[in-house]
Structure 1
């Protein structure tokens, strides 16, 4: 099981080294937004430019990182289904959805 602190650290590493290495200094991980699910943690983040200006064009396209409890790689939550549904589907083994369902 991954602790909240470990999830925040893993999310920050994913964002700064894999997802946005060219914007690593701009990434702001929001540790207080960490939510634990059966499958793992979700942690939100933002870019400093968006925080400073409120300009929506400066916001990340998706702002949720998933850190699975099983130690697999951190990744972005999909934009659909809603994050809570995605986490439940992952926990139940029903992700990815089967074709025709």
Structure 2
């Protein structure tokens, strides 16, 4: 089981490696947004420019990172459904959806 602090650290390390290199120094991990689910943690992040200006053109396309409890790779949550729904599908074993569903 991953602790909150471990999830925040994993999310920050993932973002350093996977965000556009031009934006890497702009990433702000938001520890207060970390939420625990049966499958793992979600941790939100934003870009400094968006936080400072509120201009949506500076916001990340997706702002949720998922850190699974089982040690699976940290990744972005899909944008096609709410994070809580995705986490419930993962926990139930119903993700990814079967073809035709």
Counterpart residue number, 1:71:
71
TM-score computed with the length of structure 2 as normaliser: 0.95
Give structure 1 regions of 4+ aligned residues with deviation exceeding 3 angstroms: none
For structure 2, the residue ranges without an aligned partner over 5 or more in a row are none
Counterpart residue number, 1:45:
45
* Number of equivalent positions: 101
The structural deviation recorded for 1:18 is 2.1
TM-score computed with the length of structure 1 as normaliser: 0.95
Q: Cα RMSD over matched residues? A: 0.9
For structure 1, the residue ranges without an aligned partner over 5 or more in a row are none
- 1:88 aligned counterpart, secondary structure: helix
